[in-house]
Each structure stands twice: as C-alpha cells, then as structure tokens.
C-alpha cells in the first residue's frame, strides 16, 4: 500500500489521471471558481471567459502539480493568478460605472420576494465592494470566505499568518462599511 507521504510526492502519472483530477476539481470547486470570477470581472460574458481561462490553466498546469501543497491551495493559486492577469488584459473594466446592469441571478424562490431582493441587493453590494479591493486583499478575503485556514491562505498568498489576520480585520470592516453606506445611499 502506498503511504500518504509517498502518495503526496507522486506526480500526475498519465492522461487518465489528468482527466480524473480535472473533472474532480471542476466538479468540486466549480461554484467557488465562478464566485471568484465574479469578484474580478463584472460582466457575465467576461466572467464566463475568465472561468474558462481558469479551467484551461488548471488543465495545462495539472501535469506539473507535484502535490507539494494541497490540491485546494494549488487550485486557488492558479485561479487567482489567472484572474489577475485576465483583469489586467481586459480593457473593458472602465465600463463598470454606467455600464449594462450585472446579470445577477434571481433570488431563490424559497425566500419571500422582498427578503430575496434585499439579500440580493446586499450580496451585490458585497461583490462590488470586494471588486474594489486591491488584489492581495481581494485574494485574502475570498479565500477566507471559501473556508481556507490562515495556513492555507499563507500558502496561496505568500503572506504571513499574522499579516493575514491583521488584513482580514481591516478588510471585513471595510466591506461592512461599504455595504452599510450603500444601504444608506439607497433611494
């Protein structure tokens, strides 16, 4: 039997392994990757393009995945880096203000219409506020929201755990403030 330690140093062997790993990653992290895309680009079409770019980058990077880090942290590193280079290349970001409205999904039918709208409004304010954060802060808060530990966030971002903790406190306060301000400004 292959021990855990040995298994972690085994490189992706063949094409079928690559297929399995990719399918598992997309199946497991697809929704999180779509949320990540929404935090970097505002338009639905751009989000879909970014999601596909991330999927392609993962596919291309799988053969060099040496399992030195966990699959999850490796995946988030690739996804965030691709999202950053995508938004650098996307020259349409300036259209955010005054652009077509975001194509957010309709709230779940299980909650009341008013409640759903309020929640959706709040979620939209949160996504907008996250999009305005500097890349490092954005990465930290998204990883935190997706449930990564400080150690895992350190592995993805390269920042120390103490720096992450300090930043998280500041970012959360900033996000809450942004959402509150948007609620106050609402006509």
Partner 1 sequence: MNEHNELRELWCSEPSSKTTEAKEMLEFVQRKANHFDRIIVVRNWIECIAAGVLMVVVGSYAFRSDNALVKAGWLVMAASMAWIVFYLVCFGKGPSTVDPSQDLMRYANALANRYDHQIKLLKSVKYWYLLPPYLGLLLETLGALQERARGGLRWIDLIWPAIYTAVFAVVWWLNEVYSVGRLRKERAKLLFMTRGSDTSTD
In the complex, the residues that contact partner 1 under the rule CB under 8 A are 19, 22-24, 26-27, 30-31, 33-35, 38, 48, 52, 55-61, 64-65, 74, 77-78, 80-82, 84-85, 87-89, 105-108, 119, 122-123, 126, 130, 134-136, 139, 142, 144-146, 155-158, 172, 175-176
Q: Which is nearer to partner 1, 30 or 151 (CB)?
A: 30
Query: Cα separations (Å) of 41 from 19, 47, 49, 95, 131?
Result: 28, 6, 10, 11, 8
Give all strands (DSSP E) within the chain, no chain letters: none
Q: Which is nearer to partner 1, 3 or 136 (CB)?
A: 136
Residue 72 structure tokens: 């999850």
Q: Which is nearer to partner 1, 3 or 142 (CB)?
A: 142
- For the bound state, the minimum distance from the C-beta of residue 103 to partner 1, rounded and expressed in Å, comes to 9
- For the bound state, the minimum distance from the C-beta of residue 187 to partner 1, rounded and expressed in Å, comes to 22
- For the bound state, the minimum distance from the C-beta of residue 107 to partner 1, rounded and expressed in Å, comes to 7
**Spacing of C-alpha 135 from chain mean position:** 11
Q: Which is nearer to partner 1, 7 or 111 (CB)?
A: 111
- For the bound state, the minimum distance from the C-beta of residue 186 to partner 1, rounded and expressed in Å, comes to 16
- For the bound state, the minimum distance from the C-beta of residue 100 to partner 1, rounded and expressed in Å, comes to 17
Q: Dmax over Cα atoms in the chain, in whole Å?
A: 65
Q: Which is nearer to partner 1, 3 or 110 (CB)?
A: 110
Rounded CA separation 17/91 (Å): 37
DSSP 96: S
Rounded CA separation 157/140 (Å): 7
Rounded CA separation 157/137 (Å): 10
Residue 178, classed as helix, strand or coil, is helix
Q: Which is nearer to partner 1, 46 or 78 (CB)?
A: 78
- For the bound state, the minimum distance from the C-beta of residue 4 to partner 1, rounded and expressed in Å, comes to 21
Identify which of 33, 77, 39, 82 has the alpha carbon closest to the alpha carbon of residue 57. 82
């Amino acid at each position: 039997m292959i021990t855990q330690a040995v298994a972690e140093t085994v490189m992706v062997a063949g094409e079928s392994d690559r297929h399995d790993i990719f399918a598992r990653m997309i199946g497991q992290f697809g929704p999180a990757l779509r949320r990540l895309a929404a935090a970097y680009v505002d338009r639905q079409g751009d989000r879909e393009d970014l999601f596909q770019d991330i999927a392609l980058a993962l596919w291309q990077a799988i053969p060099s995945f040496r399992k030195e880090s966990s699959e999850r942290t490796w995946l988030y590193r690739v996804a965030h880096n691709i999202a950053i280079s995508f938004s650098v290349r996307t020259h349409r970001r300036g259209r955010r203000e005054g652009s077509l409205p975001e194509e957010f999904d309709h709230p779940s039918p299980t909650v009341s219409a008013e409640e759903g709208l309020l929640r959706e409004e709040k979620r939209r304010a949160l996504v907008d506020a996250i999009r305005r954060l500097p890349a490092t802060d954005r990465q930290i808060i998204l990883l935190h929201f997706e449930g990564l530990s400080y150690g895992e966030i350190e592995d993805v971002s390269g920042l120390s755990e103490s720096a992450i903790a300090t930043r998280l406190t500041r970012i959360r306060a900033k996000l809450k403030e942004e959402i509150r301000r948007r609620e106050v400004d609402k006509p």
